[in-house]
């Protein structure tokens, strides 16, 4: 392998992006300009109060720009002038066949796993992903699990888990192939990825060489650089790409130092990435990953034909929810769509019930069908690189690629992938993004439908066998779901002020919020006077009362209602909204308040302490 110039910049350079269409067509005066868009967007923002009346139109983009956890700006508008000239790795030419539909075999019981594998392949899947080891199959069970699978037709990708070595799993699979006397299907991968389990100073040379030798003998790939290890640990998209680049380069060095050519080494490596329901970010991430690896291969001296990255997309495990699991179908559909648009070679859609336990036949069928429908009904595989040339996506792709290349450089400057995995510095950086995500979820800036937003009050969860195939990955909804798992022993009394039309907005906000935190509510209904509200309150039912109404109602009725509720036995009185404006006088009278943008998890936990019996654990 030629020496990789670690100081070489990651450059987006090449042909200029295409310009906009020409004017003069019938009924069209000419193309809209960026100034036209800015003027129209600013007008809307001024009407909504998000932009002051005398603010210049140029302030509109800043108001509409969102940022990822790692500070990457997601542009509200893509323009030709803002797109750097680039050579983004193109998606291979479309064939209409689409991506490989790779089913995850989740059952640890060999007989059930065998039945699931055959059912998946007979009903749309074209490849299998087999976890072996902790919370997976036993290596000795591979023969029986794969007994009904035509291994020469359906590619199998292995994954060792826990302390079980990659080589042990690979040799168990080799024994199956030898016993049946067949050559494995193209795309089969022994799935070795020892780097995440390596300690500081670990020498992986012998293990990687043995795996590569076995893979070469079998005519299959050897390694999977699993970026989902970073994603599941809380890393953002940039960190996931930076980690995968560093790990891929680590394997490339080991293989070429052992005598393999750069070409042969590259052909042994596959990459696995998480796909989330952040549609444009996911599209850009997969396009950026392919571009970055091409740059690595180029700097390593590889021929152009050998620079393409092989990508396996997996819908994110952490984004899945146990409560209202049916919403997972929407999340995974968006994620699979985005990965397909981004150019993934294979896609695994996690079943909607994967966060609850071992998915049943319905969950597996719907997971397969998501890819089948996107390919065969939505026809999104008919076009090569459909996001190519979309200015906003190109801009986002470039930003993610540049940031990920910088992250890769930091890892290399810190001693390489084995050093940062061993000393914990890498996971410490991932924890920063995980913390930012938790903060945004707590403030509901990242809404989780069915859990933090629009919870189903009387939901009955499906029952599934353990363990969940998601393993130990910390799911994003976990803190809300932990509150739901332990319902509060008493409800909150909603002291609704005024008629239904006046209080419904804040009453609905408060009721949904309390439900999201495992707290039931009792409402006073339509009330006209202070006496109406106090008469509806029963201290034996609820020790906490929450005022819900308009600001004017708070100013007119609030002080008297609060005094009446406390006299009737309310121990804790909170306000839906903020004590400002006409409600400012309530600031010293209430115990707490909650409004849009607040840390609602903190509020819910504080409120629940006043619903628990004295001395009970929170």
Say which CATH number the domain at 574 has. Answer: 3.40.50.280
Q: Is residue 476 part of a domain?
A: no
Residues 114-120: contacts with CB within 8 Å, 24+ apart? 114/144, 114/145, 114/146, 114/147, 114/148, 116/364, 117/145, 117/146, 117/148, 117/149, 118/148, 118/149, 119/361, 119/364, 120/364, 120/368
Phi-psi region of 385 (alpha: psi -120 to 50; beta: other; left: phi over 0): left
**Alpha-carbon span 175 to 9, nearest angstrom:** 45
CB-count burial class (<10 Å; 0-12, 13-18, 19+) for 160: buried
* Residue whose token pair is 């069928």: 365
* pLDDT at residue 346 is higher than 80: yes
Integer angstrom CA distances of residue 574 from 167, 227, 505, 562 = 60, 44, 16, 9
Of the pLDDT bands very low, low, confident and very high (cuts 50, 70, 90), residue 83 is confident
Q: What pLDDT shows up at residue 137?
A: 93
Helix axes 166-180 and 205-218, enclosed angle (nearest 10):
20
Q: What pLDDT shows up at residue 467?
A: 87
Of the pLDDT bands very low, low, confident and very high (cuts 50, 70, 90), residue 90 is low
Q: Is 375 in the same domain as 260?
A: yes
Q: Is 198 in the same domain as 341?
A: yes
Of 386, 413, 440, which residue constitutes the final position of a domain? Answer: 413
Of the pLDDT bands very low, low, confident and very high (cuts 50, 70, 90), residue 25 is very low
Q: Is 398 in the same domain as 519?
A: no
The predicted-structure confidence for 170-228, as pLDDT tens digits, reads as follows: 999 999 999 999 999 999 999 999 999 886 667 899 999 999 999 999 999 999 999 99
- DSSP bridge partners of 127: 102, 155
* Residue whose token pair is 């991932």: 430
- What's the average model confidence in pLDDT over 95-111? 89
- What's the average model confidence in pLDDT over 461-487? 93
Of 364, 397, 413, which residue constitutes the final position of a domain? Answer: 413
Which of 217-231, 383-397, 508-522 bottoms out in mean pLDDT, i.e. has the lowest? 383-397
Residues 6 or more apart in contact with residue 608 via CB below 8 angstroms: 483, 488, 517, 518, 519, 618
Residues 428-434: contacts with CB within 8 Å, 24+ apart? 429/235, 429/239, 430/230, 430/233, 430/234, 430/235, 430/236, 430/239, 431/234, 433/69, 433/70, 433/234, 433/235, 433/236, 433/239, 434/233, 434/234, 434/235, 434/474
Q: Is 147 in the same domain as 244?
A: yes
Q: Is residue 337 part of a domain?
A: yes
Of 376, 398, 413, which residue constitutes the final position of a domain? Answer: 413
Neighbouring C-beta atoms of residue 24, cutoff 10 Å: 8
Of the pLDDT bands very low, low, confident and very high (cuts 50, 70, 90), residue 156 is very high
Domain of 371: which CATH number?
Answer: 3.20.20.240
Q: What pLDDT shows up at residue 616?
A: 45
* pLDDT at residue 357 is higher than 90: yes
**CB distance 249 to 4 below 8 Å:** yes
Neighbouring C-beta atoms of residue 445, cutoff 10 Å: 12
Q: What is the mean pLDDT of the chain?
A: 91
C-alpha dihedral (359, 361, 363, 367), degrees to nearest 10: 110
* pLDDT at residue 414 is higher than 90: yes
Q: Is residue 106 part of a domain?
A: yes
Q: Which of 144, 138, 135 is nearest to 116 (CA)?
A: 144
Q: Is residue 89 part of a domain?
A: no
**CB distance 223 to 193 below 8 Å:** yes
Q: Is 408 in the same domain as 490?
A: no
**Alpha-carbon span 521 to 514, nearest angstrom:** 7
Positive/negative CA dihedral, 56, 58, 63, 69: negative
Of the pLDDT bands very low, low, confident and very high (cuts 50, 70, 90), residue 88 is low
Q: Is 124 in the same domain as 244?
A: yes
Q: Is residue 219 part of a domain?
A: yes
* pLDDT at residue 549 is higher than 70: yes
Q: Is 203 in the same domain as 322?
A: yes
* pLDDT at residue 615 is higher than 50: no
Which of 317-331, 355-369, 460-474 bottoms out in mean pLDDT, i.e. has the lowest? 460-474
**Alpha-carbon span 445 to 66, nearest angstrom:** 11
Q: What pLDDT shows up at residue 8?
A: 60
* pLDDT at residue 324 is higher than 90: yes
Which of 133-137, 278-282, 445-449, 598-602 bottoms out in mean pLDDT, i.e. has the lowest? 133-137
Q: What pLDDT shows up at residue 416?
A: 93
Q: What pLDDT shows up at residue 618?
A: 42
Give the number of domains in the chain. Answer: 2
Q: What pLDDT shows up at residue 176?
A: 97
Q: Is residue 378 part of a domain?
A: yes
Q: Is 166 in the same domain as 310?
A: yes
* Residue whose token pair is 């998480």: 274
Q: What pLDDT shows up at residue 203?
A: 86
Q: Is residue 165 part of a domain?
A: yes
Q: Is 374 in the same domain as 507?
A: no
Q: What pLDDT shows up at residue 227?
A: 97
Q: Is 257 in the same domain as 394?
A: yes
**Alpha-carbon span 488 to 514, nearest angstrom:** 10
Positive/negative CA dihedral, 297, 301, 302, 303: positive
Q: Which of 604, 608, 575 is nearest to 591 (CA)?
A: 575
% pLDDT > 70, the chain: 92
**Alpha-carbon span 522 to 611, nearest angstrom:** 14
Q: Is 404 in the same domain as 499?
A: no
**Alpha-carbon span 450 to 455, nearest angstrom:** 4
Cis peptide before 305 (omega within 30 of 0): no
Alpha-helical (H) ranges within 79-204 are 110-122, 142-145, 166-180
Q: Is residue 237 part of a domain?
A: yes
Q: Which of 417, 446, 134 is nearest to 254 (CA)?
A: 417
Neighbouring C-beta atoms of residue 616, cutoff 10 Å: 10
* pLDDT at residue 13 is higher than 60: no
CA 271 to chain centre: 17
Q: Is 407 in the same domain as 271?
A: yes
The residue segments making up the domain with residue 333 are: 100-413
Q: What pLDDT shows up at residue 113?
A: 96
**Alpha-carbon span 7 to 521, nearest angstrom:** 60
Q: Which of 273, 203, 182 is nearest to 235 (CA)?
A: 273
The predicted-structure confidence for 260-313, as pLDDT tens digits, reads as follows: 999 999 999 999 999 999 999 999 999 999 999 999 999 999 999 999 999 999
């Amino acid at each position: 392998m030629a020496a990789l110039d670690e100081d070489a910049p990651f450059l987006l350079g090449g042909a200029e992006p295409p310009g906009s269409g020409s004017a003069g067509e019938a009924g069209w005066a000419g193309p809209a300009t960026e100034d036209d868009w800015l003027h129209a967007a600013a007008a809307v923002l001024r009407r909504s109060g998000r932009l002051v009346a005398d603010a210049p139109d140029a302030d509109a983009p800043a108001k509409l720009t969102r940022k990822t956890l790692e500070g990457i700006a997601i542009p509200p508008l893509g323009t030709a002038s803002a797109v750097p000239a680039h050579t983004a790795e193109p998606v291979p030419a479309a064939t209409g066949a689409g991506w490989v539909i790779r089913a995850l075999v989740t059952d640890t019981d060999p007989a059930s796993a065998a039945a699931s594998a055959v059912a998946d392949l007979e009903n749309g899947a074209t490849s299998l992903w087999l976890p072996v080891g902790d919370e997976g199959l036993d290596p000795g069970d591979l023969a029986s699990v794969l007994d009904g699978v035509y291994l020469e037709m359906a590619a199998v990708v292995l994954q060792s888990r826990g302390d079980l070595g990659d080589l042990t799993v690979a040799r168990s699979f080799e024994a199956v192939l030898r016993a049946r006397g067949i050559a494995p299907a193209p795309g089969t991968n022994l799935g070795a990825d020892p780097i995440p389990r390596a300690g500081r100073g670990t020498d992986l040379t012998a293990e990687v060489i043995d795996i590569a030798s076995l893979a070469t003998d079998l005519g299959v790939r050897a390694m999977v650089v699993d970026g989902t290890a970073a994603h599941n640990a809380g890393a953002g998209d940039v960190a996931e790409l930076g980690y995968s680049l560093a790990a891929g380069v680590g394997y490339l060095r080991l293989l070429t130092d052992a005598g393999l050519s750069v070409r042969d080494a590259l052909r042994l490596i596959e990459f696995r990435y998480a796909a989330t329901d952040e549609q444009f970010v996911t599209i850009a991430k997969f396009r950026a990953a392919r571009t970055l690896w091409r740059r690595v291969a180029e700097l390593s001296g590889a021929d152009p034909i050998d620079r393409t990255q092989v990508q396996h997309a997996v819908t994110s495990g952490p984004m899945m929810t146990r409560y209202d699991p049916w919403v997972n179908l929407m999340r995974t559909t968006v994620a699979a769509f985005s990965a397909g648009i981004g150019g993934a070679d294979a896609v695994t859609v996690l079943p909607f019930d994967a966060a609850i336990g071992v998915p049943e036949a319905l969950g597996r069928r719907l997971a397969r069908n998501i890819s089948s429908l996107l390919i065969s009904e939505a026809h999104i595989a008919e076009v090569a690189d459909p996001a190519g040339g979309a200015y906003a996506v190109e801009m986002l792709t470039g930003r993610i690629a540049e940031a990920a290349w910088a992250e890769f450089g930091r890892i290399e400057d810190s001693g390489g992938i084995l050093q940062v995995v061993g000393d914990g510095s890498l996971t410490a950086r991932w924890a920063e993004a995980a913390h930012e995500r938790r903060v945004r979820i707590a403030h509901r800036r990242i809404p989780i439908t069915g859990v933090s937003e629009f919870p189903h009050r009387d939901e009955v969860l499906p029952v599934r066998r353990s363990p969940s195939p998601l393993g130990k990955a910390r799911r994003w909804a976990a803190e809300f779901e932990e509150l739901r798992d332990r319902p509060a022993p008493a409800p909150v009394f909603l002291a609704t002020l005024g008629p239904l039309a006046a209080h419904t907005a804040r009453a609905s906000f408060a009721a949904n919020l309390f439900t999201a935190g495992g707290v039931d509510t009792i409402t006073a209904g339509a009330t006209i006077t202070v006496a109406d509200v106090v008469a509806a309150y029963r201290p034996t039912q609820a020790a906490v009362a929450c005022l819900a109404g308009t600001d004017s109602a708070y100013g007119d009725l609030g002080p008297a209602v609060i005094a009446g509720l406390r006299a009737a036995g309310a121990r804790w009185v909170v306000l839906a909204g903020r004590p400002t404006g006409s409600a400012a006088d309530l600031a010293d009278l209430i115990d707490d308040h909650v409004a849009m943008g607040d840390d609602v998890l903190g509020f819910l936990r504080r409120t629940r302490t006043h619903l628990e019996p004295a001395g009970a654990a929170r």
